[in-house]
Amino acid sequence: QIGSTAITGSGGAASELTFAPDAALDLTNIAMTGVTILDLTAADNKNITVNVADLADVTSITFGADDNNLIILDTGSIVGTPMGAGFDALVLQGDGTVTADDTIIGADLAALDGDGAGTADILAITMAGVTLDMSGVAVGAGNTINTTITGTTGNDIITAADSKSTTSTFSITGNGGNDQIRLEDVSGNALDALIVADAVSVTDFDASNDSIQVAAADLAGATAAVAGIASGALNTTAGAPGVVFITDSTVADFSNLAQFAGAVGVHSADALDEFFVAVANPAGDQVGIYNVINAGGAAGILIDAADSVTLVSVIDITSGTFSAADMAVY
């Protein structure tokens, strides 16, 4: 730790703190103000521990090697502090909310965690750009963290994480525009789990403009195509659409396997076919997105406990009527 109680810059465009050693930087008991450029070029795979206020004047962080870990000790806003590449782990320890823009998810970020103590750690991302891809980030693998993403009023493309702990929550708010919300098979629940609280929550979904997109890499047997089908008409054998919306049946409880199986009805599948099914609730104001891996494969069978059924997401429909036209494959 630096042997000082304060680091004070002029606040000008060239007010730079260069941290020269390949060592951890710990600002726990040091107030850093007026520093606009934080140069961490020498630090490689080290802990960079800061308070939110330390980043208040920082407009640029310079990195050389990657794989540093950013540890934020308290809560507050760091919107406007561009993170970019350079951190491969982000840990929140303030037992509350840190608000950031989308640059906090840099190209190298692979892990997002809380501290495992106290109240929930929350990362609230307010998007500045219109593209945010969190597919490479493991959320909560070390300790629980809750993540909220609020899109711009423009046309956003938001990709959810593909790895999330069962105790962490993940929510996306479109916030207007023609938004594309992208999901993978375990973006929400772990494989073969149906817990509503663990599904990716998507709110402010306008069925007239927005779309839910699922990963082509998570399809097997069926094709990367979308269709609206009636209950009892699902066919995921070779050549059939692998993403379907059930048009004439609903599910009141998205966590209930029997209700979901009843809505899908009897179907045809080959062993280990993997596909996505969307089904609305009776009011039509919510839609559950499921990933299914068929265990045996046959004609005229119901989805059951032998199959892997994962509740990926629950969509809150604020405008329009959801249909197969609101789904796509990416």
Q: pLDDT tens-digit profile of 120-153?
A: 999 999 999 999 999 999 999 999 999 999 999 9
Residue 3, pLDDT > 80, answer no
Residue type, 303: I
Residues 179-187 have a mean pLDDT of 98
pLDDT recorded at residue 293? 97
pLDDT tens-digit map of 239-286: 899 999 999 999 999 999 999 999 999 999 999 999 999 999 999 999
- CB-CB contact of 35 with 58 (8 Å): yes
pTM for the model stands at 0.94
pLDDT recorded at residue 2? 59
pLDDT recorded at residue 314? 98
Residues 311-318 have a mean pLDDT of 98
Among residues of the chain, what percentage have pLDDT more than 70?
A: 98
- CB-CB contact of 55 with 77 (8 Å): no
In this prediction, residue 238 has a pLDDT band, given cuts at 50, 70 and 90, of confident
Residue 43, pLDDT > 60, answer yes
Residues 155-165 have a mean pLDDT of 97
In this prediction, residue 118 has a pLDDT band, given cuts at 50, 70 and 90, of confident
pLDDT recorded at residue 88? 94
How far is residue 30's CA from residue 298's CA, in Å, rounded to a whole number? Answer: 66
Residue 12, pLDDT > 90, answer no
pLDDT recorded at residue 5? 85
In whole numbers, what is the pLDDT of the chain averaged over residues? 95
Token pair for 249: 């049946």
How far is residue 241's CA from residue 229's CA, in Å, rounded to a whole number? Answer: 10
Burial of 117 (0-12, 13-18, 19+ CB in 10 A): exposed
In this structure, what DSSP letter does residue 307 have? Answer: S
pLDDT recorded at residue 14? 80
